[in-house]
Amino acid sequence: MSHVLILGATGHLGQHLPLALQERGHTVHALVRPESLASGDAVKQAQVDALRRRGVVLHPGSLQDDASLRAACAGIDVVISAVTGEQLGEQPKLFAAMLEAGVQRFLPSEFGIDTQQPEAGRCALVDWKRGVQAAVKASGVPYTMVYANGFASYWAASLGQIGLFAPPATSVRVFGDGDTPGHFVQPEDIARYVACIIDDPRTENREVGLFPADNRRTQNELIAQWESVRGATLGRENIDAATVDWLIGDAAGKPERMMEWIVLQLVRSVWIDGALAERRDGVLDATRLYPDVGYTRVDDFVAGFAAPSATASLSDPVQAYLKALNAGDTTALSSCFAQDYRSDQPGYPGRAFCGREVVVRNHVQLFERGTVRAQVQSATTTKPDASGVRRNYLELTYDLNRHDGTTDLLVGTIVFGATDKEIRWGRLHLQPVDRAELDLEIDALIDQSRGIQ
């Protein structure tokens, strides 16, 4: 099997690549900035620790350090770049190191819109990637361009309103007529397809896309699915193509609005121009090449965010935690907790701990194993005490779907003490449930768990 070097191994997609590659028998390496190896940032440190625990070989270095690139590429068969932002344009700095090391395949950081779909000038991010793609093809390094289309965690979770990581509570912006389709795939599924692509001779020097038939959805269809599982109707703010063009023009050339400008161009490409709708001639379809890999159905993914409206009474940071948990977003989750957060499990006294960094580390490990869906059955809160802390009582189920196909179910109650800004303490009363006994009613299991409070 291959030795695979990942750049961007702690990113939104990159964090899923090590497990997917190891499951295929590959040895995984990661280029990690030296400052990240000893970071005081709880999230970054937890992510690096997760790579170590998984047995990933860490190489200190960066795209600005040629010597570190040569050292990292030595003995490597495949390089996968999952970098973002300004680092996209720095990927050609890898060419010399890869050629010297005899790297057999390079996957540049595409993993989104088919770079050849939008017209030049319609989307700056795609234009930048198109320039890198041309350089890759001219470099002499064997390559595969992988177009994952839309990340479901960005596009489907937000019902098309990119920038959110969970469905909006009351209203949604609909771009164009809302009937332009796109294909959407979860990052962990993308990683599994990538693990198949890297050493398949059929994909060498080719372009490969992900076009799951069940995940071709319009924005209106995503909204309708959410409304169906919630049993409520969202308000709609319709934004036509001319307005999107005006907003893009208004943000252009203003450094403080660059991210807004880029996001608006992506929105135009996806929901108005249809850049995720169809497979271009000459692009292979990974879902057909590897039919046994499987993928998360986007309808199921959206439905996983559903929770009774009773959660609206919860403190803001508790609601934000539930959204971040279901989205697998460690960064957003970290901001919900106080630095000195205290956790107790009365049924398991030895599991008590203090500190936000422990919360982050625990959830990084959880997300490593699979996806989590927290379903709130009922919730209530008390009035704030003298320090502004309200008690938030949640009756809920935790459903963990591991990457290896096994599942765990926890049911019970959680009490969070939270201000309007942060969760300060928590008491967890959760019980594991045997899947073979799921003929029992969930409500009965929750009632049973109350007895340990």
In angstroms, the CA 179 to CA 223 distance is: 11
Q: What is the mean pLDDT of the chain?
A: 87
| Marked catalytic residue, from 44, 93, 129, 254 | 129
In angstroms, the CA 241 to CA 206 distance is: 33
In angstroms, the CA 248 to CA 220 distance is: 23
Tokens 């179910």 — which residue? Answer: 409
H-type alpha helices, 182-297: 187-197, 219-230, 241-251, 258-267, 286-289
pLDDT greater than 70 at residue 128: yes
Q: Which pLDDT score, from 0 to 100, does residue 440 have?
A: 40
In angstroms, the CA 19 to CA 357 distance is: 23
Mean pLDDT over residues 263-273, rounded?
95
The pair of three-digit structure tokens given for residue 321, joined into one six-digit string: 């935690």
Q: Which pLDDT score, from 0 to 100, does residue 441 have?
A: 41
Angle at 366 between CA 361 and CA 370, to 5 degrees: 150
Q: Which pLDDT score, from 0 to 100, does residue 34 have?
A: 82
Q: Which pLDDT score, from 0 to 100, does residue 21 have?
A: 95
Confidence of residue 66 (pLDDT cuts 50, 70, 90): very high
354-370 per-position pLDDT tens digit: 889 899 988 988 888 88
Residues with Cβ < 8 Å from 31, sequence gap 6 or more?
5, 6, 7, 9, 59, 61, 62, 68, 69, 72
Q: Are 153 and 302 in contact (CB under 8 A)?
A: no
307-339 per-position pLDDT tens digit: 545 567 788 899 889 988 988 888 889 999 998
In angstroms, the CA 148 to CA 159 distance is: 18
CATH annotation of 307-452: 3.10.450.50
Q: Which pLDDT score, from 0 to 100, does residue 311 have?
A: 66
Is-catalytic flag, 254?
no
Q: Is the pTM of this model over 0.85?
A: no
